[in-house]
Amino acid sequence: MNRQEETAAKIKLLAESHAAEVTQWEAEERERLGEAAAYTKLLEEQLVAEIQKRQEEERKRQEETAAKTKLSAEFQAAEINKREAERRKKQGEAAAEAKWLAELQAAEINKREAEQRKRQEEAAAEAKLLAELQAAEVKKRKAEKRKRHKEAKAKTKLLEKQLVAEIKKRQEEERKRQEETTIGSTQLSSASATSASSLSIPSLEEQAHFIRKSKYQTELKAGDLGYIISGPWLNQFIAKPLTKEDAENEIGPIDNSDLVDTTQMQWQAKKTSDDRHFMKGKATKILLFRRTLSLSNRAL
């Protein structure tokens, strides 16, 4: 029991000691907190005073800036008014000058338009006169062309008659030679077959390889235009150098479809028993008229 009391007394003594320390710590803490609050309050008062000072300075600066801005705006307004007045004055002068220039330009334009109308009327009159002259010239040329064509047809008809006579003469000579040389009916049949074969119509290429000279034919040179009169039963055709105009005068209008190109054709020299010669040489460019005047039906 005494030990419990002693223990209790010790615990009580420790508790009282601890309470005294706590009380002392709390008092010290309250004292520190009071000092801190006082310092904080002092700082707050100083901060408020500084803020108020700066606000006052800012207010003064703003008032000074506003006064300067107002003065500058008034000065700028006066300057703008001055420049606007000068601009209106210049615009008035420029408008007067522009009006004067416009009147001058309008007068110049009217003058040029009048001159252009005059030139156009003169050009129209000249074109009309030229068209009338050209129409008269065309009419004259057409009449001359019809006349030449008519004359050419007459010449061609005469040439055909001469050819027919020549062909009949040669056929008669050939018939007489065959009668003299024919022996027996077999030989006569063979001669008839040969004669029929000679009447076959050769192609233009075959004709071009057998150009036989005659009194109606002259030798073609490179670059010439040849006019063909076909006599196929003679295995030949008659050609002579012609210009396109000459050819049209003889056979009428022609175009490219009427031509056959005999470029690079070879004609070999050959001598016949009656001393007639084929054309020879190498042509670089000879155009022969494809349109022919066939005498076969009329001759037979």
Contact between 247 and 254 under an 8 Å Cβ cutoff? The reply is: yes
Tens digits of residue pLDDT in 199-225? 344 444 444 434 433 333 444 444 444
d(CA 261, CA 285): 7
**In-domain check, residue 269:** yes
Tens digits of residue pLDDT in 158-186? 877 777 777 778 878 878 888 777 754 44
Tens digits of residue pLDDT in 59-98? 999 999 998 999 888 899 899 999 999 989 988 888 888 8
pLDDT the model gives residue 243: 60
pLDDT the model gives residue 30: 81
| Rounded alpha-carbon distances, angstroms, from residue 17 to 28, 58, 233 | 17, 61, 167
Tens digits of residue pLDDT in 241-277? 556 666 566 556 666 555 544 443 333 333 333 333 3
pLDDT above 70 (res 290): no
Higher pLDDT, 220 or 55: 55
pLDDT above 90 (res 233): no
Residue in 292, 288, 214, 218 with CA at minimum distance from that of residue 251: 292
Q: Using pLDDT thresholds of 50, 70 and 90, give the confidence band for residue 120.
A: very high
Higher pLDDT, 233 or 30: 30
**In-domain check, residue 260:** yes
What is the 8-class DSSP label of residue 264? T
pLDDT the model gives residue 1: 58
pLDDT the model gives residue 284: 31
pLDDT above 70 (res 100): yes
Residue in 219, 195, 235, 200 with CA at minimum distance from that of residue 277: 219
Domain limits for position 211: 199-300
Higher pLDDT, 123 or 257: 123
CA 193 to mean position of chain CA atoms: 65
Tens digits of residue pLDDT in 15-38? 887 777 888 888 888 888 888 888
3-state secondary structure of 176: helix
pLDDT the model gives residue 213: 37
Higher pLDDT, 289 or 98: 98
**In-domain check, residue 17:** no
Q: Using pLDDT thresholds of 50, 70 and 90, give the confidence band for residue 58.
A: very high
**In-domain check, residue 253:** yes
Tens digits of residue pLDDT in 32-53? 888 888 888 888 888 888 899 9
Number of domains in the chain: 1
| Rounded alpha-carbon distances, angstroms, from residue 18 to 7, 13, 27, 32, 208 | 16, 9, 14, 21, 153
Higher pLDDT, 65 or 282: 65
**In-domain check, residue 218:** yes
**In-domain check, residue 52:** no
- Identify the weakest region by mean pLDDT among 111-115, 202-206, 215-219, 283-287: 283-287
pTM exceeds cut of 0.85: no
